[in-house]
Amino acid sequence: MKRSYPVHVEIESAIEIIKEKIRVSDTELVSLDAADGRVLAQMVTAKENIPPFDRSPYDGYAFRAQDVVCARKEAPVTLQIIEELPAGKAPTKSVGAGQAVKILTGAPIPEGADAVEMFEKTAYTKEWVQLDHPLASGSNICKMGEDVKEGEEMVDEGLKMSPAMIGLLAGLGYSKIRVHKKLKASIISTGSELVSIESRLTPGKIRNSSSYMLRSTLEKWNMDAEIYGIVEDDAAKIAHAIEACSKNSDVILTTGGVSVGDYDLVEEALTRMGAEILLWGLLMKPGMAFVAAMYQGTLILGLSGNPSAAAASLHMVGRPVLFYMAGVKQEPRTKCKVRLLQDFPKKSPSRRFIPGVLRIIDSEAWLDVRGDQGNGMLSIWNACNLIGELPKDTPPLEKGSVIDAYFLYEA
């Protein structure tokens, strides 16, 4: 078949080709308690100082540093306690010469005081406190705006909301925040050999496992994903399913039917329905069987019917594309160097990606490669958190060889 679109492209080129055709999701205002994992759609600026006033970091006493400048063990200085300040209470008295205020952690520094000493380093009664050492002005005081200054740009748009970020915004008084809308995805499994997971297996049939792995992956990426179901190997029926899902989906994932066999009909279905095919085939293993298309504003990613191949192309191409659609601006894949924990006896004439588990041994990162790395193997992805990369024409590798790897599920 002669194709007018790119075929067998590098994953980096595939990502850019797709990104040129898609758009970033719209935005909405959500309450802060519903913002975890959402992608910020606004710059967050501090509306006030944190802390909002000079405060004490300790339970202790606030006083004038000049009053204890001559304090020594052999000649301690005694100060009169004029007030007690718990957190949440404003001072009612100013500290004058020879005076001190009993102050609790988080309470505001009273006027006149410019130093704090913790209880443990003083001698005291209810009426007085005694110090046997001097303190410099400003000692043990958390200054207003020390953590965050009013007007300071705190968090940029395009970042995923984390627990720490949510806490920061709460401290700044943001009860609502503008974020990008969650992407909605549909997953269509093609193949007359597939049956539902509840079905009893009969000769020639296999259960539809890939769709559940894909849905779980998308939900971990904070997308709303639904499984449409199984469609037999029929181009018209595949086209009908894609068209039905496109009405309420930002992205559609299909599995199966994207290779070169007689029953690989997704490409035909896309052509039949008038979709714009963007590319066909990736220069990677597993995951070579792949198609990307657009239909009435909906992105379609056709993945291999082999579970390992589908997972590899989704992580290496789908993830950067979907994160871009979701409004994420930071690099979605963290790259690191690891050593192979086992020999890898296979040659890699094509660029190869191998899932595994990160092991830290003697302060070094190692990739524990699972199983035989077959295209149809779902088990090799179990508990994996890294995917290693072997460049094209890599020979068999021995244990301890250093390769590049990518984290699978970081933010």
Query: What is the CA angle 289-292-296, rounded to 5?
Result: 150
What are the Cα distances from residue 393, in Å, to 349, 350, 396? Answer: 4, 6, 10
Among residues of the chain, what percentage have pLDDT more than 70? 95
Cβ neighbour number for residue 211 with a 10 Å cutoff: 25
The pair phi, psi for residue 151, each rounded to 5°, is: 90, -10
What lies within 8 Å, CB to CB, of 51 at 6+ separation is 142, 143, 144, 145, 146, 147
Residues of the chain with pLDDT under 50: 411
SS3 state of residue 218: helix
The highest-level CATH class for domain 335-407 is mainly beta
What pLDDT does 378 receive?
A: 65
Residues 210-235: tens digit of each pLDDT = 899 999 999 999 999 999 999 999 99
Rounded-to-integer distance, Cα 322 and Cα 317, Å: 9
What lies within 8 Å, CB to CB, of 286 at 6+ separation is 304, 306, 308, 309, 312, 313, 353, 373, 375
Element at 128 (helix H, strand E): strand 128-131
* DSSP notation for 44-62: EE-SS-BSSS-B-SSSEEE
* 295 within 8 A of 246, measured Cβ to Cβ: yes
Nearest to 409 by CA among 373, 385, 392, 380: 385
Are 29-48+150-180 and 60-131 equal in CATH topology? no
pTM: predicted TM-score of the whole model, two decimal places: 0.83
CATH architecture group of domain 60-131: Beta Complex (2.170)
Domain ranges of the chain: 7-25+182-325, 29-48+150-180, 60-131, 335-407
DSSP label of 306: S
DSSP label of 318: I
* Token pair in block for residue 228: 């449409």
Residues 36-48: tens digit of each pLDDT = 999 999 999 988 8
The highest-level CATH class for domain 29-48+150-180 is alpha beta
172: left (phi over 0), alpha (psi -120 to 50) or beta: alpha
What pLDDT does 411 receive?
A: 46
CATH assignment of 7-25+182-325, given 3.40.980.10, 3.30.200.20, 2.40.50.140, 3.30.470.10? Answer: 3.40.980.10
What pLDDT does 377 receive?
A: 59
